């Protein structure tokens, strides 16, 4: 058993998380993560309404009695999101830990804190992490350039970013981006983090609510099979490499191009319905990190967590001491 500030603060058995993933952070996956001893997050905005989120929290509790949280991602949208109502649904449902991401969580912290909810904020830069700490979050998840989703514009890999954040912060640091193995967990701990967050690894599990083609594609892909899109629009995002993401990249490089030129290709609904839902791997944009190159099989959440923790313990107890001379 690996005990850290994270396991002690958040009351879970293992220093592993499944952070919020749009379209995937649903009851069947998050309950399985919780049962495996890690901390998973339902994704609030995956649910169409705050009332639906309340029902999804209830559904998760019917599947597990272990701790889990809710992710609330704060992003500008074309259609206004009733964030106050989602926040109220989280509080009224008795959730004890929230992961915030995207924009500044300041407006939500007073109500969460008043309800005794611990807040983990996901950041992509040390300066943003320091700001979140100053606002009063309980932990920071720092997202390296290897991650799926939005890594920011600084292009700092985890090897440097995790260590820099750990040096700058007093609150617990969670390493995120490109982690899928026990060795990755050990590396994160060595760099000063107290836990590791994984997204792509949990996509390739039997409980993940996506088409089996997606899971098999992750296993087949290498570390080179992701691509950065939207850089030209100052909204860099790492996605899986396929026909659609390659086309988006090519169009975006044309002089005078704008997001409107690729919006039909980049539609989140298209990716969720055609790729994640129907399993057409070339017909929409979907998120995946460089960790694809480390994932060799689809397995249950329990087996994934157990193997990562066992491998990490083996490395800490036996492999690393072998580098030191005998006393």
CA distance to 19, 51, 93, 209, 267, per residue, from 55 (Å): 20, 7, 9, 17, 27
**pLDDT tops 80 at residue 78:** no
Burial of 1 (C-beta count, 10 Å sphere; 0-12/13-18/19+): exposed
Q: Is there a contact between 224 and 295 (Cβ–Cβ < 8 Å)?
A: no
CA nearest neighbour of 185 among 196, 193, 176: 196
Length of the chain: 327
Q: What is the pLDDT of residue 136?
A: 97
Digit-coded pLDDT (tens) for 7-42: 999 999 999 999 999 999 999 999 999 999 999 999
Instruction: Provide the pLDDT for residue 171.
Output: 97
* SS3 (DSSP) at 59: helix
Alpha-carbon distances of 232 from 33, 98, 248, 249, 253, rounded to whole Å = 36, 32, 11, 9, 7
User: Is 22 in contact with 45 (CB distance < 8 Å)?
Assistant: yes
> In the structure encoding, which two tokens stand for residue 155, read together?
């292009």
Residue whose entry in the numeric block shows the structure tokens 């300041």: 106
At residue 139, the 3 state secondary structure works out as: strand
Return the residue matching tokens 């992509």: 124
Phi and psi at residue 149, to the nearest 5° = 90, -145
Burial class (CB in 10 A: 0-12, 13-18, 19+), 55: middle
How does the average pLDDT of the chain come out, rounded?
95
> What DSSP state is assigned to residue 73?
E
The class (CATH top level) of 5-210+295-321 is alpha beta
**pLDDT exceeds 80 at position 165:** yes
pLDDT value for 173: 98
Whole-model pTM: value is 0.94
Mean pLDDT value of segment 85-90: 98
Q: How far apart are CA 136 and CA 72, in angstroms?
A: 16
Long-range contacts of 263-266 (CB under 8 A, 24+ apart): 266/229, 266/230
Kindly report which listed range (163-172, 268-277, 297-306) carries the lowest average pLDDT score: 268-277
Among 227, 254, 219, which Cα is nearest to 243's? 227
pLDDT-derived band at 79, boundaries 50, 70, 90:
confident
pLDDT for position 113: 97
pLDDT of residue 77: 72
What pLDDT shows up at residue 1?
A: 87
Q: What is the pLDDT of residues 49-65, one digit of tens each?
A: 999 999 999 999 999 99
* Predicted local confidence at residue 263, as pLDDT: 92
Beta bridge partners of 143: 176
Whether 316 and 185 have beta carbons less than 8 Å apart is answered as no
Domain boundaries, the chain: 5-210+295-321, 226-287
Contact criterion met (CB below 8 Å) for 153 and 238? no
Number of C-beta neighbours around residue 110 at 10 A: 10
pLDDT digits (tens, 9 = 90+) for 201-249: 999 999 999 999 999 999 999 999 999 999 999 999 999 999 999 999 9
């Amino acid at each position: 058993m690996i005990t850290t500030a994270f396991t002690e603060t958040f009351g879970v058995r293992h220093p592993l998380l499944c952070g919020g993933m749009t379209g995937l952070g649903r009851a069947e996956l998050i309950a399985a993560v919780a049962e495996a001893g890690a901390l998973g997050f339902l994704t609030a905005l995956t649910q169409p309404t705050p009332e639906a989120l309340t029902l999804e929290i209830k559904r998760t509790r019917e599947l597990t009695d272990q701790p889990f949280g809710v992710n609330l991602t704060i992003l500008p949208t074309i259609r206004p999101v009733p964030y106050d109502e989602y926040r109220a649904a989280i509080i009224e449902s008795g959730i004890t830990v929230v992961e915030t991401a995207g924009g500044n969580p300041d407006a939500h912290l007073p109500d969460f804190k008043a309800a005794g909810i611990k807040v983990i904020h996901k950041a992509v830069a040390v300066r943003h992490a320091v700001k979140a700490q100053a606002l009063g979050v309980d932990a920071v998840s720092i997202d390296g350039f290897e991650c799926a989703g939005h890594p920011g514009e600084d292009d700092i890999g985890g090897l440097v970013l995790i260590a820099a954040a750990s040096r700058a912060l007093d609150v617990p640091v969670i390493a995120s981006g490109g982690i899928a193995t026990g060795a990755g967990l050990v590396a994160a701990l060595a760099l000063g983090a107290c836990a590791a967050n994984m997204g792509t690894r949990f996509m390739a599990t039997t409980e993940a609510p996506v088409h089996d083609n997606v899971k098999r594609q992750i296993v087949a892909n290498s570390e080179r099979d992701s691509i950065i899109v939207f850089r030209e629009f100052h909204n860099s995002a790492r996605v899986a490499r396929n026909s659609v993401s390659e086309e988006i990249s090519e169009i975006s490089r044309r002089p005078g191009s704008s997001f409107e030129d690729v919006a039909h290709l980049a539609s989140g609904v298209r990716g969720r319905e055609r790729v994640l839902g129907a399993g057409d791997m070339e017909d929409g944009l979907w998120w995946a990190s460089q960790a694809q190159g480390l994932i060799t099989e689809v397995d249950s959440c329990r087996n994934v967590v157990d193997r990562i923790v066992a491998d990490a313990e083996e490395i800490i107890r036996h492999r690393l001491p072998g580098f030191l001379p005998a006393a």
